[in-house]
Structure 1
């Protein structure tokens, strides 16, 4: 038995489209994006996801702080993406500003190395 060598054979990987296991495995794969190590207990920065959509919820005191935190969240996501070979499409990236005050905000642009995000 110790000298037995089986013939080579291919091991299929992946799951069929629509497999119920896909969602669970994708969540496990993306868990470091949502739950950084060490975990953050900051209630003003929360990340949630469903399938391949990730949302970063950021609570800030002013627009400039918001721009800085969005840049930081984007940089963290891109670093994670580079490490785990995930690609983010900036053309599909959006941000929304909610405020308690009722007034019109001027246009807000977040410059990023490859794409400008505008509100």
Structure 2
């Protein structure tokens, strides 16, 4: 930790999960593919990138949207 003029000794943190497994992105794309495919069949716009999905819905009226 560092604040003002103080710098602590290094502290080992022994928790959390491993990140950066190369296959995790591929597995997430497979996991998320059904969501994007279902939206495509409904004629809605959807974008998937790595571990994010974005859905864009439009309508002429609020009632039509809901």
TM-score by length of 1: 0.33
Please say which structure displays the higher CA radius of gyration: 2
Corresponding residue number in structure 2 for 1:18: 20
Where do residues 54-69 of structure 1 align in structure 2 (5 Å cutoff)? 54-66=53-65, 68=66
Count of residue correspondences = 48
Q: Which has the higher contact order (CA 8 A, sep 6+)?
A: 2
The Cα offsets for residues 18-68 of structure 1, whole Å up to 9 and x where unpaired, read as 0222111100111111112xx6172xx1222234432211121112222x1
Please give the root-mean-square deviation of Cα atoms over the aligned residues, in Å: 2.2
Partner secondary structure for residue 60 of structure 2: coil
Corresponding residue number in structure 2 for 1:34: 36
Question: Runs of 5+ in structure 1 lacking a partner?
Answer: 1-15, 69-119
Q: Which runs of at least 4 in structure 1 moved beyond 6 Å after TM superposition?
A: none
Question: Runs of 5+ in structure 2 lacking a partner?
Answer: 1-17
Where do residues 1-119 of structure 1 align in structure 2 (5 Å cutoff)? 17-36=19-38, 40=41, 42=43, 45-66=44-65, 68=66
TM-score by length of 2: 0.53
